[in-house]
Amino acid sequence: MVRKSRLRCCGKEVVVDFDLTREQEMIRKEVRKFAQSEIAPVALELDEAEEFSSDLTRKMGEIGLFGMFVAETYEGQAMDYISYIIAVEEIARVDGSQAATIAAGNSLGIGPLYYFGSEEQKQKYLPTLCNGQALWGFGLTEPTAGSDAGGSKTTAVRDGNEWVINGSKIFITNAASDMTLGVTVQAITGTRSNGKPEYTCFIVESGTRGFKAVPMKKKMMWRSSNTAELYFDDVRVPAANILGQQGDGFHQMLKTLDGGRLSIAAMGLGGAQGAYDAALKYAQKREQFGQPISKFQAVAFKLADSAMEIECGRNLLYKACWLRDHKRPFEKEAAMAKLYCSELMGRVANHAVQIHGGYGLMKEYDVERFYRDQKLLDIGEGTSEVQRIVISRYIGC
Amino acid sequence: MEIAVLLKQVPATESLIEIADGGTTIKTDGINWVMNPYDELAVEEALQIRAADGGTVTVFSLGPEKAVEALRTALAMGADTAVRIDPQGKPMDGLSTAKVLAGELKKGAFDLIIAGHRAVDDDNFQVGPAVAELMGIPHISMVIRQEVTDGRIRCTRTIDGGTLVLETALPALITTQRGLNEPRYASLPGIMKAKKKPIDTRALSETGTDPGEPMVRTIAMRLPPQRKGGRIIEGDSATAKAEALVKALREEAKVI
Q: What is the CATH number of the domain that holds A178?
A: 2.40.110.10
Instruction: Name the minimum distance, in Å, from the CA of B197 to any CA of chain A.
Output: 13
Question: Within a domain: residue A371?
Answer: yes
Q: What are φ and ψ of residue A243, in 5° steps?
A: -85, 120
Instruction: Name the minimum distance, in Å, from the CA of B128 to any CA of chain A.
Output: 27
Tell me if chain B has a CB within 8 Å of the CB of A257. no
Instruction: Name the minimum distance, in Å, from the CA of B251 to any CA of chain A.
Output: 32
Q: Where are the beta strands (DSSP E) in A194-248?
A: 197-205, 211-215, 227-238
Chain centroid, CA A289 distance in Å: 42
Instruction: Name beta bridge partners: B83.
Output: B60, B200
pLDDT, tens digit (0-9, with 9 covering 90-100), for A192-250: 999 999 999 999 999 999 999 999 999 999 999 999 999 999 999 999 999 999 999 99
Question: Within a domain: residue A259?
Answer: yes
Name which of B34, B72, B189 is nearest A22 (Cβ-Cβ): B72
Answer yes or no: do B190 and B236 share one domain: no
Answer yes or no: do B203 and B231 share one domain: no
Instruction: Name beta bridge partners: A191.
Output: A197
Answer yes or no: do A151 and A46 share one domain: no
CB contact under 8 A, A26 and B192: no
Residue at which a domain ends, from A221, A247, A273: A247
Number of domains in chain A: 3
Question: Within a domain: residue A100?
Answer: yes
Q: Give yes or no for residue A51 having a pLDDT over 90.
A: yes
Q: Give yes or no for residue A6 having a pLDDT over 70.
A: no
Instruction: Name beta bridge partners: A135.
Output: A180
- pLDDT at position A4 is 47
Q: How far apart are the first and last CA of chain A?
A: 42
Q: Where are the beta strands (DSSP E) in B2-135?
A: 2-6, 9-11, 33-35, 56-62, 81-86, 112-116
Per-residue exposure over B239-252, b if at least 16 CB sit within 10 Å of its own CB, e if not: eeeeeeeeeeeeee
Average pLDDT, chain A: 94
- pLDDT at position A118 is 97
Answer yes or no: do B178 and B241 share one domain: no
Answer yes or no: do B170 and B231 share one domain: no
Q: Give yes or no for residue A7 having a pLDDT over 60.
A: no
Under 8 Å between Cβ of A47 and A171 = no
Question: Within a domain: residue A291?
Answer: yes
Question: Within a domain: residue B212?
Answer: no
Answer yes or no: do A114 and A45 share one domain: yes
- Chain B environment of A2 (Cβ under 8 Å): 65-66, 68
pLDDT, tens digit (0-9, with 9 covering 90-100), for A366-378: 999 999 999 999 9
Tell me if chain B has a CB within 8 Å of the CB of A34. yes
- Chain A environment of B76 (Cβ under 8 Å): 26, 30
Question: Within a domain: residue A8?
Answer: no
Instruction: Name beta bridge partners: B165.
Output: B156
Judge residue B196's burial from the number of C-beta atoms within 10 Å of its C-beta, 0-12 exposed, 13-18 middle, 19 or more buried.
exposed
Amino acid (1-letter code) at residue A93: R
Question: Within a domain: residue A17?
Answer: no
Question: Percent of chain A having pLDDT more than 90?
Answer: 91
Number of domains in chain B: 2
d(CA A354, CA A31): 29
Under 8 Å between Cβ of A150 and A27 = no
Answer yes or no: do A384 and A281 share one domain: yes
- pLDDT at position B253 is 84
ipTM: 0.80
Question: Within a domain: residue A5?
Answer: no
Answer yes or no: do B126 and B79 share one domain: yes
Answer yes or no: do A64 and A146 share one domain: no
**Catalytic site includes residue A381:** yes
Question: Within a domain: residue B213?
Answer: no
Answer yes or no: do A242 and A257 share one domain: no
Q: What is the CATH number of the domain that holds B110?
A: 3.40.50.620
Q: What is the CATH number of the domain that holds A95?
A: 1.10.540.10
Answer yes or no: do A386 and A358 share one domain: yes
Q: Which are the contacts of B50, defined by CB distance < 8 A and separation ≥ 6?
A: B1, B3, B56, B57, B78
pLDDT, tens digit (0-9, with 9 covering 90-100), for A125-180: 999 999 999 999 999 999 999 988 878 999 999 999 999 999 999 999 999 999 99
* pLDDT, tens digit only, all 256 positions of chain B: 999 999 999 998 888 889 999 888 899 888 889 999 999 999 999 999 999 999 999 999 999 999 999 999 999 999 999 999 999 999 899 999 999 999 999 999 999 999 999 999 989 999 999 999 999 999 999 999 999 998 999 999 999 889 999 999 999 999 999 999 999 999 999 998 898 898 999 999 999 999 999 898 889 999 888 877 788 888 889 999 999 999 989 988 888 8
Answer yes or no: do A237 and A277 share one domain: no
- pLDDT at position A148 is 87
Question: Within a domain: residue B216?
Answer: no
For residue A256, what are the domain limits? 251-394
d(CA B49, CA B55): 9
Give the SS3 label for residue A295: helix
Answer yes or no: do A230 and A255 share one domain: no
Answer yes or no: do B101 and B157 share one domain: yes
Residue at which a domain ends, from A87, A106, A135: A135
Tell me if chain B has a CB within 8 Å of the CB of A83. yes
Q: Which are the contacts of B142, defined by CB distance < 8 A and separation ≥ 6?
A: B117, B157, B158, B159, B175, B176, B177
Give the SS3 label for residue B15: coil
Answer yes or no: do B179 and B253 share one domain: no
Answer yes or no: do A92 and A227 share one domain: no
Answer yes or no: do B86 and B198 share one domain: yes
Catalytic residue of the set A120, A364, A381, A385: A381
Answer yes or no: do B185 and B255 share one domain: no
> H or E stretch including A163?
strand A162-173
Answer yes or no: do A191 and A282 share one domain: no
Q: What is the pTM of this model?
A: 0.87
Closest to A136 in 3D by CA, of A75, A42, A226, A33? A226
Range A12-17 average pLDDT: 73
Q: Give yes or no for residue A307 having a pLDDT over 60.
A: yes
CB contact under 8 A, B187 and A23: no
Residue at which a domain ends, from A79, A104, A135: A135
For residue B160, what are the domain limits? 2-207
Q: What is the DSSP string of A99-123?
A: HHHHHIIIIIIIHHHHHH--HHHHH
Answer yes or no: do B233 and B178 share one domain: no
Q: Is the peptide bond before B171 cis (omega within 30 degrees of 0)?
A: yes
Under 8 Å between Cβ of B3 and B56 = yes
Answer yes or no: do A235 and A215 share one domain: yes
Estimate the crossing angle of helix A40-49 against helix A96-103, to 10 degrees. 90
Q: Give yes or no for residue A343 having a pLDDT over 80.
A: yes
A2 band by pLDDT with thresholds 50, 70 and 90 = very low
Closest to A197 in 3D by CA, of A142, A234, A269? A142
Q: For an interface test with A, which of B188, B192, B197 has the most A Cβ atoms less than 10 Å from its Cβ?
A: B188
Range A33-55 average pLDDT: 97
Closest to A201 in 3D by CA, of A121, A81, A119? A121
Q: Give yes or no for residue A9 having a pLDDT over 90.
A: no
Q: Which are the contacts of A282, defined by CB distance < 8 A and separation ≥ 6?
A: A355, A356, A359, A365
Question: Within a domain: residue A6?
Answer: no
CB contact under 8 A, B191 and A27: yes
Give the SS3 label for residue A198: strand
Question: Within a domain: residue B218?
Answer: no
Tell me if chain B has a CB within 8 Å of the CB of A74. no
Tell me if chain B has a CB within 8 Å of the CB of A22. yes
SS3 content of chain B, % helix, strand, coil (to 5): 30, 25, 45
Answer yes or no: do B71 and B124 share one domain: yes
Answer yes or no: do B22 and B127 share one domain: yes
CB contact under 8 A, B186 and A30: yes
- pLDDT at position A53 is 98
